């Protein structure tokens, strides 16, 4: 420690989130920091100075609510400046931020609140009915509730004790002496979506948040550029669509603040809101799940808007099919789309599809095929391997599949209050993701499936993500997913659920023919992987974070089978 003082402001300077928050104040305090459009179409704009002052006021107000270091402070809200103020006031004062996934089942939401021991919950008007519905089952845990709105006054509700956000911070000092503490102090708590059981809590420290932020910013300057890439903007203007409760919006609340970006919040996501904000605010970058991109592509009025400022879309939460990427780039000729991989336990993205310098002169078609792969370890300081059941690295032959394992500075250390689950995922010094992948000759990983979603047909494993990506390349397909259906001979056989582009007239047999031509004939898949059944659907069931919901599909397997047609090649 040195002379009894802590911290030492040299080699032991603590990596704290407060220093991320302070950076824009040194350079451009009076630049617009955040833009929020509410549901009524009104815009609110805050400078970095104003946003920081409000965050300081909130930190003071939280003390009046009895918040102490280490307390869990929850949010049940959409993306807006109040949510960001809460995240930073909570973390930088020494408490733990817990953004609650408001798309979980009610039982799972209640579980995460009670298991996490949330002391205060902040919620907005859109989520008020949900809080009221679960109130009786969380009121013994939560000591106070705070209502966030741009309209004065409190709503009529049974929720108590209830405070009005703006009244709570009014009159509070606009300066706060942010404390110093050990960088290994816990900062944020996220829960998994609970697709295989109860949600599991993942804790992250100030050090992990800080290092991820710096490395995320650094990788942008290390990425090779293509000759026809759009110019790199001097200032990022991101549209923050990815919910703040979903892996903390892939780390963007921290990297965007550190980068002094002008952050645009959409409130509720709709294709129309998306287009209006891109046009009005000249948004140049955004991130979303593939299903959101599909919604934008099928939006019938998209040609009415000027979306030329948008030059980058990052895709996560699911694989980016080459077909979907191509459809998007036809609509937005100045835009580039790429994919990445991460999970709740990795804080944000850790693997991404990058163009390395030797690829710059490759044909566009080959580069596009690379950019839809899961990719390489995207961020420095992350190690990633794909191993077989004996723990050996699989060959780079684009065929053998194994499990992705990771380690690095911001991989989750342990599940909150769950040593048994922690021991299951941390083995031999590596975090086991449960995701199956193969590696091609260039060393790029390609997600094949979740271990729990692989279709086991006879003695073979059918990787559904590979089939989904191939099917999505068809011009007439908007979305596609695969599940196994029972079969007396093979145990399971593949069924495809396909959502066609509006107006498409292709048949179920056309799906099979496309897969034969572009998959089997080219060696990308084998003939026994082809679907036996194809069902055309109006919508593909999805999880709370926009992934295909295989569990929901299996629960309604008879319903989908009734729509399906048995197909075979002629």
HSE at residue 330, side-chain half, CA atoms within 13 A, is 9
The predicted-structure confidence for 311-338, as pLDDT tens digits, reads as follows 888 887 766 778 888 888 888 777 778 7
Per-residue pLDDT reduced to its tens digit, 59-80: 999 999 999 999 999 999 999 9
CA-to-CA dists, residue 398 to 30, 402, 488, angstroms: 51, 11, 31
Q: Do domains 269-450 and 457-566 have the same CATH topology?
A: no
Least trusted range by pLDDT, from 28-37, 379-388, 443-452: 443-452
Please write the tens of the pLDDT for every residue from 268-284: 889 999 999 999 999 99
26 phi, psi to nearest 5 deg: -75, -30
> What percent of the chain clears pLDDT 90, i.e. is strictly above it?
56
CATH superfamily assigned to domain 269-450 = ANL, N-terminal domain (3.40.50.12780)
Element (H, E) at 328: helix 322-331
Whole-number Cα distances in Å, 122 to 78, 118, 136, 168: 11, 10, 16, 12
CA distances from 489 to 35, 136, 457, 496, 557 (A): 58, 50, 9, 19, 19
Q: Where are the domains of the chain?
A: 44-204, 269-450, 457-566
Could you say which architecture CATH assigns to the domain 44-204?
3-Layer(aba) Sandwich (3.40)
Looking at 14-142, which runs of residues are DSSP E strands?
32-37, 43-47, 72-76, 96-99, 118-124
User: pLDDT tens digit string along 106-134?
Assistant: 888 999 999 999 999 999 999 999 999 99
Beta bridge partner(s), residue 548: 542
**Is the pLDDT score of 3 beyond 60?**
no
Q: How many CB atoms lie within 10 A of CB 408?
A: 20
Residue 196 scores a pLDDT above 70: no
Q: Helix or strand or coil: residue 9?
A: coil
Distance between CA atoms of 201 and 414, rounded to whole angstroms? 9
Contact (CB, 8 A) for 457 and 494: yes
| 115-119, 153-157, 374-378, 448-452: least confident range | 448-452
**Contact at 8 Å (CB) between 199 and 111?**
yes
Average pLDDT of the residues in 20-30: 95
Buried b (16+ CB within 10 A) or exposed e, 131-158: beeebeebeebbebbbbbbbeeeeeeee
DSSP 3-state of 15: coil
Sign of CA dihedral 221, 227, 229, 232: positive
Give the integer Cα–Cα distance in Å for 492 and 464: 13
Q: Per-residue confidence at 512, pLDDT binned at 50, 70, 90?
A: very high
DSSP percent split of the chain into helix, strand, coil, nearest 5: 35, 25, 40
Pick the CATH number of 457-566 from 3.90.1150.10, 1.20.910.10, 3.30.300.30, 3.40.50.10540: 3.30.300.30
Mean pLDDT of all residues in the chain? 89
Distance CA(114)–CA(367), nearest Å, equals 48
Antiparallel, parallel or unpaired: β 263-265 and 312-315: unpaired
Specify the pTM: 0.81
Q: Which residue has the tokens 């040593």?
A: 419
Burial class (CB in 10 A: 0-12, 13-18, 19+), 204: buried
């Amino acid at each position: 420690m040195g002379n009894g003082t802590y911290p030492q402001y040299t080699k032991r300077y603590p990596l704290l989130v407060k220093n991320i928050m302070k950076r824009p104040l040194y350079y451009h305090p009076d630049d617009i920091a955040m833009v929020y459009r509410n549901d009524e179409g009104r815009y609110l704009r805050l400078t970095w100075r104003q946003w920081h002052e409000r965050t300081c006021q909130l930190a003071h107000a939280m003390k009046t609510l009895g918040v102490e270091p280490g307390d869990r402070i929850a949010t049940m809200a959409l993306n807006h400046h109040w949510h960001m103020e809460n995240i930073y006031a909570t973390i930088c004062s020494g408490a733990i931020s817990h953004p609650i996934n408001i798309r979980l089942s009610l039982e799972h939401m209640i579980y995460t609140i009670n298991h996490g021991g949330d002391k205060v919950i902040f919620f907005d008007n859109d989520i008020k009915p949900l809080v009221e519905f679960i109130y009786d089952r969380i009121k013994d845990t939560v000591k106070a509730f705070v209502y966030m709105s741009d309209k004065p006054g409190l709503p009529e509700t049974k929720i108590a004790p209830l405070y009005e956000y703006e009244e709570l911070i009014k009159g509070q000092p606009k300066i706060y002496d942010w404390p110093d503490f050990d960088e290994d102090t816990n900062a944020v708590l996220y829960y998994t979506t609970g697709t295989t059981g109860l949600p599991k809590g993942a804790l992250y420290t100030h050090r992990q948040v800080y290092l991820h932020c710096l490395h995320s910013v650094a990788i942008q300057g290390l990425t090779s550029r293509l000759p026809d890439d759009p110019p790199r903007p001097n200032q990022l203007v991101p549209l923050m669509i990815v919910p703040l409760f979903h892996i903390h919006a892939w780390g963007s609340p921290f990297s965007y603040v550190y980068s002094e970006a002008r952050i645009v919040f959409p409130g509720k996501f709709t294709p129309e809101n998306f287009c209006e904000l891109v046009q009005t605010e000249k948004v140049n970058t955004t991130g979303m799940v593939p299903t959101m991109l599909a919604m934008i592509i099928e939006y019938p009025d998209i040609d009415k808007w000027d979306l030329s400022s948008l030059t980058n879309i990052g895709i996560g939460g699911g694989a980016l099919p080459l077909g979907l990427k191509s459809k998007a780039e036809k609509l937005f000729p100045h835009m580039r789309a790429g994919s990445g991989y991460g999970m709740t336990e990795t804080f944000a993205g850790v693997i991404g599809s990058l163009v390395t310098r030797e690829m710059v002169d490759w044909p566009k078609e080959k580069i596009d095929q690379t950019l839809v792969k899961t990719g390489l370890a995207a961020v420095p300081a992350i190690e990633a391997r794909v191993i077989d059941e004996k723990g050996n690295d699989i060959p780079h032959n684009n065929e053998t599949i194994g499990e992705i394992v990771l380690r690095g500075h911001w991989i989750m250390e342990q599940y909150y209050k769950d040593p048994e689950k922690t021991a299951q995922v941390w083995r031999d010094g590596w975090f086991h993701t449960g995701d199956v992948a193969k590696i091609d000759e260039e060393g790029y990983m390609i997600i094949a499936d979740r271990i729990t979603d692989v279709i086991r047909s006879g003695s073979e494993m059918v990787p559904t993500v590979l089939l989904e990506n191939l099917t999505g390349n068809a011009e007439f397909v908007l979305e596609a997913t695969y599940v196994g259906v029972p079969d007396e001979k093979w145990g399971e056989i593949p069924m495809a659920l396909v959502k066609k582009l509006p107006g498409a007239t292709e048949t179920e047999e056309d799906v099979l023919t496309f897969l034969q031509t572009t998959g089997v004939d080219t060696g990308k898949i084998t003939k026994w992987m082809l679907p036996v059944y194809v069902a055309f659907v109006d919508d593909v069931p999805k999880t709370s974070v926009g992934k295909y919901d295989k569990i929901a599909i299996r629960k309604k397997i008879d319903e989908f089978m009734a729509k399906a047609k048995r197909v075979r090649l002629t």
